[in-house]
Structure 1
Amino acid sequence: MRAGRPPGTGRTLRVTTRNASFQQWSALLTNRGKRQRAGEFLVQGVRPITVAMERGWPVHALLHPDGVPLSRWARDLLDRAGGTRVAVAPDLLHELGGKDDDLPELVAVAGLPPDRLDRIPVGPDALVVVFDRPTAPGNIGTLVRSADAFGAAGLVVVGHAADPYDPRAVRASTGSLFAVPVVRAGSHRDVLDWVAALRGQGLPVQVLGTDEDGEVEIAEHDLTGPTVLLVGNETAGLSAAWRQSCDRMLRIPIAGSASSLNAATAGTVALYEAARQRRARPGSPG
């Protein structure tokens, strides 16, 4: 069996040794290049797998422990799976599950989506988050989760950065990775060209940076229109190129002995403020 090429709906295969398929799945755990070349990544956990299936994500294979009784949840998903069903030796599946103690009931092999900015729906209320060169996969997953919770249209990960399809990012998103478009962009210029095209179509997109030394407090700036909200790298903040491209730099006021906020936390606060302002607009449903 070759991983990533489901031979047919409903077919069940078995993997009992460290064969080529298992080695490929194992590489998807740690090797970004292998994920990219295979066009696949692993999904671990009940909620992420459930949301991926509910959202119609391309699931190439569902792996389950061979000879182990499964819950109704797992049986139902296996019955609905359109890709290959694979019974894997429990000790091997444990290695793919991402937890030290528990044997997973299911691990999904999902297809990577294309990195196209036009996957992000835009309109008069569009709110898009851009994460500049994040280094921690967990921060990407957390920010995707916040983007989902506060109504953002999508998240763009820019530059040399951690991978949103790293299992740590997928787990931290708790399924939101499959509900909110996440796109990887090579540089800030790719995003700015996209913004320029939207402006050319008559959409007045504002590009706003976040920084502890921003010129205005975030609550004092209007976030109700189409907005691209920038969150900087965990250590260095926004790049100089991004700072020069912002329409305005916003700050989140903090107190106490903390010198700054975690990048994903700062992004979450900014997303909450945007959602709060939008709910407070006259005529808004919230």
Structure 2
Amino acid sequence: MRVTSRNAAFQQWEALLGNRRKRHQLGRMLVQGVRPVTVALDAVGRSGLVVDAVLHDDRPSPSQWAQDVVSRAVASGATAYELSAELLAELAEQEQDRPEVVLVVVQPADDVARLPVPADLLTVVLDRPSSPGNVGSIARSVDAFGGTGLVVCGHACDPYEPRAVRASTGSALTVPTVRLGSPREVLAWVEAARRDLGHVAVVGTDEHGEVELADADLTGPTVVVTGNETRGLSSAWREACDLVVHIPMTGTASSLNAANATSVVLYEASRQRRRR
């Protein structure tokens, strides 16, 4: 199917770029970039991700990678659309390099049943994050350091905004991610996990935390809670935490940003678990 003008279909895809309400209503997101697109297609068979449409440009000789992507997406049930280079570049948000493919992917359900509860549980909860880039970077770290899930809690940015998906380099599509409205909903899931696993430690992060990170035992089932980039942990989360850890600073900086701090905590958990 060929699209050469800003018709209704194009306008719908364009709305997925910056209109959170439309993304929610349509239950779709855009996936841009070579690695995220490749990761998305790999996740179709592995984790049940659904590709709704594959948008490719009209160049006469696409790369082998682009040909394979279109073929795999169509085989999975996606509809293929051929766009002019100008229109595809707008959806890919690229001004210099000419993109070849953008995917339209169905957003996974915000269902806590999607969050695994294994014996080595290591789930991250983000308390009212405001930066899509941070959310995407944290999803990447959850993936890299053996995390089992990601919860975006409260009034927060959208983890499926294109900036978040790009920052994750595709990990946002493979790490089980759920959006929940309040700490109460997350803590109900934690209590259910405790019934299955026994103790589950809820560990907050804060520059004034009472325990140095290296002294905290992160070898058991753990939920790591990172607060808002500006305001830190809410009072509800402070009360819910079994302990709050800090990362020692030796320079003039008093703290790390949310993504860096969460990555350090996840690395420490991974390090401790490897040495058990």
Q: Which residue does the alignment assign to 1:209?
A: 204
Q: Which residue does the alignment assign to 1:78?
A: 70
Q: Which residue does the alignment assign to 2:40?
A: 52
Q: Could you tell me which of 210, 214, 219 is aligned with 2:214?
A: 219
Q: How far 1:200 sits from its partner (Å)? A: 2.5
Q: Which residue does the alignment assign to 2:136?
A: 141
**Where in structure 2 are the equivalents of 1:63-212 lying within 5 Å?**
63-81=55-73, 82-212=77-207
Unaligned runs of 5+ in 1: 1-12, 282-286
Q: Distance in 1 between matches of 2:132 and 2:65?
A: 28
Q: Considering only aligned residues, what root-mean-square deviation do their CA atoms show, in Å? A: 0.9
Q: Distance in 2 between matches of 1:259 and 1:250?
A: 14
Q: How far 1:258 sits from its partner (Å)? A: 0.6
Q: How far 1:196 sits from its partner (Å)? A: 1.1
Q: What SS class does the counterpart of residue 55 from structure 1 fall into? A: helix
Q: Residue 54 of structure 1 aligns to which amino acid in structure 2?
A: D
Unaligned runs of 5+ in 2: none
Q: How far 1:201 sits from its partner (Å)? A: 3.0
TM-score, normalised with respect to structure 1: 0.92
Q: Residue 46 of structure 1 aligns to which amino acid in structure 2?
A: V
Q: What SS class does the counterpart of residue 64 from structure 1 fall into? A: strand
Q: Distance in 1 between matches of 2:59 and 2:39?
A: 26
Aligned length: 269
Q: How far 1:246 sits from its partner (Å)? A: 0.6
Q: Which residue does the alignment assign to 2:6?
A: 18
Bigger helix share? 2
Q: Which residue does the alignment assign to 1:39?
A: 27
**Percent identical across equivalent pairs?**
58
Q: Distance in 2 between matches of 1:178 and 1:108?
A: 12
Q: What SS class does the counterpart of residue 105 from structure 2 fall into? A: strand
Asked if the contact 2:119–2:197 (Cα under 8 Å) also holds between the matched residues in 1, the reply is no
Q: How far 1:55 sits from its partner (Å)? A: 1.0
